[in-house]
């Protein structure tokens, strides 16, 4: 700003609005353009500049950098979530876009743990220094249950937590040891942290077993990420009380689909069958295809213990060797599961399609079905490939239409994220004896396309439109629904990804969303079968925004759908159950009951997104555990790999042969002193200038593995790195 500019004065109303903005965002550094945008000011920019100067003169805000102002913190308080590093330092993360994280020294954590929602009192900001503060209140604990190893020395007992974010041991009074032995892995609940105590107090709630044993470690993973190991007895009792027989009175209320050819297609080891597909030939080259989903909402009612427990879990968890179901087995594998040769209650989306996949008519509602056949993916695939076998005509026609549906999606800008998935083959003791790549063939894609179609059409139906457009209700009602949304990629991340892939000779085009999607698809096709495939696919996925649940209408960028929901898996996902309940209300043209308003639904969506993320972390942890266990037999053996990540403590390498990932620790590289260069995303030798970057091929030997810590250490094979 030029000193020669002359102002006649500042508008007090604008000053008040700007000061309120800075108070609401006390960690932000804002210039006049950002201020104008945030208060939606459309007038002369000089009005904003004058107000900023006046507020600065009054010492209510301060110009920290040239043209950038921040609130003058007079012990201002900010709410947010704690992110605690392995070294015990903390950062407060706020929800506000563009906010800086606030540094919290270990001595200022005041008992806050990783993930806790806390209130932080800010220290006065020092020029060019990061904002700092101290925790003054713990508003909500992220968790109070921790997995760890018990250390007993006579009458003194401590639990050493497995969680790398947990910076302190937990003291266990002798009356709360519960018979656990020294060295056993346990689940401990924090009960108190007295002001005069160095460590929090806790009580052991469950003994998990000896560290390193298969079941002990799997139970530890489930507990570590906040999922219960068992259902409360009261919940099990409620599930057991549900009748298995379907009454004639209930059947009479529904569309009867028992006479239509219906089957399920699932993995060979599946027990919970969420979905079935029915098929009928109509006249004039049309087909009736029904997508039938287990009617969980009929059995699990709001306000019951069953529903409360399902909501808290929010999702089933799929580990390497087991499933931790969202619902008790009586429901997940029995009453609700669409098992063959049994009548089942379903919520259906039924479509009239032609051979091009065009939807000519649709119907949604409650049904009763009879599954004629249970196919595994392998069985269905064999029939599709050989063009003969039971229900061959139905499968072949369904597959042909599914391919048209997929082609149409990609024409409209969908992105094909088909990453390589490696599965473990375990022995009777749960030890990994083989790793193999899971192939996705036509049978998998067939089921996927009809589930996508149902999810899309349900979301379109439930989204308010103008009267007469075939919507469930009028737009004026603004009735909510549960959407699965996926935002378009962030421009900064795209630019970073574009620079990265140029090293491999690839490029993506920037422009509109369709052009970006087309570029991604071409890239993913070009890298197929190449050594860098997995790394580039993983990087591409990380470039994208994360999918989540919300009541706010938004599209799904990756699928190129304007509206999309999750409707097809209510046995294993709570948002699908929410969608079923809302659909039933809207189909019956009823008003939303108390407890289902938008704000409550949005909180449920947020919780479901968080639990889904935890379930994914638990799954990854079980994979890491088995990878470390598998590679233990190959210590000293050399493997080809690709650098999958670089940090200031090490170089991550993914082995080409089996996709196991481990680390070369920088302090184990003795030929030079290596430093991490964040700008170049590389580890560089100080003397030799040798670089290690993501995507570089490299040859390593397995140095050691620690299954309990889920870590794998590699050494570089001298002279093997290829540039």
Q: What is the CATH number of the domain that holds 29?
A: 1.10.10.10
CB 214 within 8 A of CB 169: no
- Whether 434 and 335 map to the same domain: the answer is yes
- Whether 115 and 247 map to the same domain: the answer is no
Average pLDDT for residues 603-613, to the nearest whole number?
96
Which CATH number covers residue 96?
2.40.50.140
Q: Identify the pLDDT of residue 7.
A: 36
Look at residue 39 and tell me if it is in a domain.
yes
Average pLDDT for residues 466-492, to the nearest whole number?
69
- Whether 384 and 293 map to the same domain: the answer is yes
pLDDT tens digits, one per residue of 221-235: 999 998 998 999 999
Look at residue 526 and tell me if it is in a domain.
no
Between 86 and 665, the higher pLDDT residue = 665
- Whether 158 and 303 map to the same domain: the answer is no
Q: Kindly tell me if the per-residue pLDDT of 196 is higher than 50.
A: yes
CB 175 within 8 A of CB 168: no
Domain final residue, candidates 556, 579, 613:
613
pLDDT band at residue 127 using 50, 70 and 90 as cut-offs:
low
- Whether 568 and 455 map to the same domain: the answer is yes
**How many structural domains does the chain have?**
5
Q: Identify the pLDDT of residue 609.
A: 96
pLDDT band at residue 720 using 50, 70 and 90 as cut-offs:
low
Q: Identify the pLDDT of residue 45.
A: 81
Q: Identify the pLDDT of residue 560.
A: 86
State the Cα–Cα distance between residues 659 and 535, nearest whole angstrom: 10
Q: Identify the pLDDT of residue 605.
A: 97
pLDDT band at residue 515 using 50, 70 and 90 as cut-offs:
confident
pLDDT band at residue 471 using 50, 70 and 90 as cut-offs:
very low
pLDDT tens digits, one per residue of 339-350: 999 999 999 999
Average pLDDT for residues 1-26, to the nearest whole number?
65
Q: Kindly tell me if the per-residue pLDDT of 52 is higher than 70.
A: yes
- Whether 423 and 461 map to the same domain: the answer is yes
What's the CA angle centered on 341, arms 337 and 345, to 5 degrees?
45
Look at residue 689 and tell me if it is in a domain.
yes
pLDDT band at residue 703 using 50, 70 and 90 as cut-offs:
very high
- Whether 343 and 475 map to the same domain: the answer is yes
Please tell me the number of Cα atoms within 13 Å of 119 on its side-chain side. 7
Q: Kindly tell me if the per-residue pLDDT of 550 is higher than 60.
A: yes
Q: Identify the pLDDT of residue 634.
A: 96
Choose from 2-6, 173-177, 271-275, 289-293 the range with maximum mean pLDDT.
Answer: 289-293
Least confident of 56-65, 136-145, 357-366, 672-681: 56-65
Residue span of the structural domain in which 202 resides? 145-211
Task: Give the residue ranges of DSSP H helices in 136-213.
Answer: none
- Whether 656 and 609 map to the same domain: the answer is no
What's the CA angle centered on 593, arms 603 and 245, to 5 degrees?
100
Average pLDDT for residues 672-681, to the nearest whole number?
86
Q: Identify the pLDDT of residue 723.
A: 35
Residue percentage of the chain with pLDDT more than 90: 59
- Whether 291 and 368 map to the same domain: the answer is yes
Torsion, Cα 592 597 600 602, to 10 degrees, reads 110
Q: Kindly tell me if the per-residue pLDDT of 419 is higher than 80.
A: no
Q: Identify the pLDDT of residue 700.
A: 96
Query: What are the structure tokens assigned to 398, written together?
Result: 């369904």
Between 668 and 635, the higher pLDDT residue = 635
Q: Identify the pLDDT of residue 476.
A: 42
Look at residue 1 and tell me if it is in a domain.
no
What's the whole-number average pLDDT of the chain?
88
Distances (CA, A) of 394 to 181, 261, 372, 541: 60, 9, 13, 35
Q: Kindly tell me if the per-residue pLDDT of 716 is higher than 90.
A: yes
Between 532 and 709, the higher pLDDT residue = 709
Which CATH number covers residue 188?
2.40.50.700
SS (HEC) of 293-326:
EECHHHHCCCCCHHHHHHHHHCECEECCCCEECC
Q: Could you please report the per-residue DSSP string of 395-461?
A: HHHHHHHHHHHHHHHHHTT-------EEEEEE-TTS-EEEEEEEP--HHHHHHHHHHHHHHHHHHHH
Look at residue 515 and tell me if it is in a domain.
no
Domain final residue, candidates 45, 71, 97:
71
Q: Kindly tell me if the per-residue pLDDT of 6 is higher than 50.
A: no
pLDDT tens digits, one per residue of 234-280: 999 999 999 999 999 999 999 999 999 999 999 998 889 999 999 99
Look at residue 356 and tell me if it is in a domain.
yes
Q: Kindly tell me if the per-residue pLDDT of 8 is higher than 50.
A: no
Query: What are the structure tokens assigned to 678, written together?
Result: 């964040």
Q: Identify the pLDDT of residue 494.
A: 82
pTM of the model: 0.83
- Whether 67 and 96 map to the same domain: the answer is no
Q: Kindly tell me if the per-residue pLDDT of 676 is higher than 70.
A: yes
Least confident of 90-104, 164-178, 410-424: 90-104
């Amino acid at each position: 700003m030029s000193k020669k500019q002359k102002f006649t004065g500042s508008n007090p109303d604008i000053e008040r609005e700007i000061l309120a903005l800075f108070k609401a965002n006390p960690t932000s550094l804002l210039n006049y353009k950002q201020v104008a945008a945030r208060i939606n000011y459309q007038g002369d920019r000089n009005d904003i500049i004058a107000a900023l100067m006046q507020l600065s003169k009054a010492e209510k805000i301060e110009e920290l950098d040239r043209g950038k102002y921040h609130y003058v913190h007079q012990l201002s308080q900010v709410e947010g979530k704690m992110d605690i590093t392995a070294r015990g330092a903390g950062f407060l993360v706020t929800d506000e876009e563009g906010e800086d994280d606030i540094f919290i020294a270990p001595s200022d954590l005041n008992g806050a743990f990783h993930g806790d929602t806390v209130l932080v009192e800010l220290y006065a900001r020092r020029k060019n220094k990061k904002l700092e503060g101290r925790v003054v209140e713990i508003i909500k604990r992220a968790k109070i249950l921790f997995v760890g190893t018990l250390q007993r020395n006579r009458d003194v007992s401590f639990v050493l937590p497995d969680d790398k974010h947990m910076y302190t041991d937990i003291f266990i009074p002798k009356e709360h040891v519960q018979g656990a032995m020294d060295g056993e892995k346990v689940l401990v609940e924090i009960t108190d942290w007295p002001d005069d105590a160095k460590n929090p107090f806790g009580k052991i709630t469950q003994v998990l077993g000896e560290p390193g044993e298969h079941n002990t470690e799997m139970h530890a993973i489930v507990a570590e990420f906040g999922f219960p190991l068992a259902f409360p007895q009261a919940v099990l009792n409620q599930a057991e009380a549900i009748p298995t027989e379907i009454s004639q009175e209930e059947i009479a209320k529904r569309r009867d689909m028992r006479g239509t050819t219906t089957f399920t297609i699932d993995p060979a080891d599946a027990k919970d069958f969420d979905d079935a597909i029915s098929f009928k030939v109509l006249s004039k080259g049309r087909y009736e295809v029904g997508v039938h989903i287990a009617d969980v909402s009929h059995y699990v009612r709001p306000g019951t213990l069953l529903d409360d427990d399902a909501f808290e879990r929010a999702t089933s968890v799929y580990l390497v060797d087991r499933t931790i179901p969202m619902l008790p087995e009586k429901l997940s594998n029995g009453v609700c599961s669409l098992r063959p040769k049994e009548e089942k209650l379903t919520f259906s989306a039924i479509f009239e399609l032609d051979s091009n996949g065009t939807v000519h008519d649709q119907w949604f509602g409650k049904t009763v079905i009879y599954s004629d056949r249970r196919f595994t993916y392998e069985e269905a695939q064999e029939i599709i490939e050989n063009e003969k076998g039971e229900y061959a005509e139905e499968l072949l026609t369904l597959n042909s239409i599914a391919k048209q549906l997929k082609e149409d999606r990609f024409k409209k800008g969908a992105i094909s994220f088909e990453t390589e998935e490696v599965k473990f083959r375990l022995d009777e003791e749960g030890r990994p004896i083989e790793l193999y790549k899971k192939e996705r063939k036509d049978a998998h894609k067939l089921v996927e396309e009809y589930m996508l179609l149902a999810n899309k059409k349900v979301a379109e139906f439930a989204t308010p439109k103008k009267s007469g457009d075939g919507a469930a209700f009028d737009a004026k009602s603004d009735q909510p629904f549960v959407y699965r949304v996926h935002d378009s990629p962030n421009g900064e991340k795209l630019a970073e990804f574009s620079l990265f892939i140029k090293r491999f000779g690839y490029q993506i085009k920037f422009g509109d969303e369709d052009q970006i999607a087309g570029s991604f698809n071409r890239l993913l096709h070009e890298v197929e079968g190449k050594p860098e495939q997995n790394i580039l696919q993983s990087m591409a996925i990380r470039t994208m925004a994360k999918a989540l649940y919300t009541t706010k209408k938004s599209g799904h960028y990756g699928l190129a759908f304007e509206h999309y929901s999750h409707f097809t898996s209510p046995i294993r996902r709570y948002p699908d159950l929410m969608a079923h309940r809302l659909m039933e209300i809207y189909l019956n043209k009823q008003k939303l009951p108390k407890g289902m308003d938008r704000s409550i639904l949005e909180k449920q969506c947020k919780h479901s997104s968080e639990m889904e993320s935890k379930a994914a972390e638990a799954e990854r942890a079980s994979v890491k555990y088995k990878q470390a266990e598998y590679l233990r037999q190959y210590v000293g053996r050399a493997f080809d790999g690709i650098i999958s990540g670089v940090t200031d403590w090490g170089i991550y390498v993914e082995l080409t042969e089996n996709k196991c990932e481990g680390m070369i620790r920088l302090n184990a590289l003795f030929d030079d002193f290596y430093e991490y260069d964040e700008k170049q995303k590389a580890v560089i030798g100080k003397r030799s200038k040798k670089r290690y970057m993501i995507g570089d091929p490299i040859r390593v030997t397995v140095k050691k593995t620690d299954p309990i810590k889920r870590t794998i250490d590699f050494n570089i094979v001298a002279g093997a790195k290829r540039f």
